[in-house]
Homo-oligomer: A and B are copies of this chain.
């Protein structure tokens, strides 16, 4: 059954490599720039625009988890990085590192997801690379996607624009992705289930484009979760952030899994959410627009920027206050 798994020769540059690329890559992505497999894709860039360029490698384990797989993640992660920079995602690269012995069926399912999600997000996979390493030198497959987007006018984003009084919004429940992967990895069955939130956020950004000048900061809370992003915003600045525990959107499944595993959901990765910090006057209209979209249904305001220097504080439901610290130590490895 050798033909049903990846072999070292699939990465050697010879006949096997060519066949794999033709059958699995060109068949899915072979229109347009990828046609003829040049060393690079030639892209028509609109005049007078800024482009945004980003990259992410994905090493998630397991490769497939409730709600998605490494292919979904590779598209969404890069699309979302472009989106939170205020860009319309346009082009993706796709670089695969495959482990000898990987079932071709797994590769195909993951590439199908890449194709489907790329189409869904309006991005085109225009260039790629495939390497194969020996059994035991990678965990099934690692995926890198770099992306290019076209920056929308009006967005001037930067944590340095955030000031006390600004509102902090999030586009939906946080932590589901990390908990779904962790639960899958640990083989935990949770009554209510928990599914990854992996998904694109570019429509959420484009939908609030009219408010761009008053949006100060956007970020997708991946590794380190909300805690990492919010601490980064106020670090070394004469301001803080106050979160209301009762406003924090967590799903039942994520809460159950987090309790079971002793994890703080504020530090857990999402892969389909935005944190947005904006002038208080636009938080209601932004939330209204977001809630009208499927991917923003759970959007809510979670807190405000204060003048308490460099601290993120959570006001608990019982009225107490606790510090939301920068995540330390190992956290949750191989979540993305």
Please list the residues of chain A having a beta carbon within 8 angstroms of any beta carbon in chain B: 7-9, 11-18, 36, 38-45, 47-59, 80-82, 84-85, 87, 91, 93-97, 126-129, 131-134, 136-139, 142, 144, 146-149, 151, 157-159, 219-220, 222-225, 228, 267, 269, 326-334
Contacts and interface: CB of A to CB of B under 8 A. Distances in A.
A95 B12 contact: no
Contacts of A142: 97, 138, 142
A259 to B, nearest CB: 21
A329 B40 contact: no
A133 B129 contact: no
21 contacts: A12-B223, A12-B327, A14-B267, A14-B327, A14-B331, A15-B329, A38-B158, A39-B219, A39-B220, A40-B53, A42-B151, A44-B50, A45-B49, A53-B148, A55-B94, A57-B95, A57-B96, A57-B97, A59-B97, A133-B139, A137-B138
What secondary structure prevails in chain A residues at the interface with B? mixed
A94 B55 CA distance: 7
Given A57-B144, A87-B40, A331-B9, A326 B14 contact: yes
B85 A39 contact: yes
A211 to B, nearest CB: 20
Contact of A333 (B11, B228, B331): B11
A91 B40 contact: no
Nearest to A89: B40
B96 A327 contact: no
A149 B53 contact: no
B57 A52 contact: no
Contacts of A11: 223, 333
Q: Counting chain B CB atoms within 10 Å of each CB, which of A127, A129, A222 scores highest?
A: A129
Contact of A222 (B13, B47, B134, B136): B13
B12 A332 contact: yes
Nearest to A136: B136
Given A8-B333, A12-B224, A47-B47, A149 B87 contact: no
Q: Counting chain B CB atoms within 10 Å of each CB, which of A84, A131, A225, A269 scores highest?
A: A131
A46 to B, nearest CB: 9
Nearest to A225: B13
B81 A40 contact: yes
A36 B233 CA distance: 11
B51 A51 contact: yes
A137 B332 CA distance: 16
A57 B331 CA distance: 27
A80 B39 CA distance: 9
B129 A93 contact: no
A331 B87 CA distance: 42
A126 to B, nearest CB: 6
Contacts of A96: 57
Given A13-B269, A327-B15, A328-B15, A54 B41 contact: yes
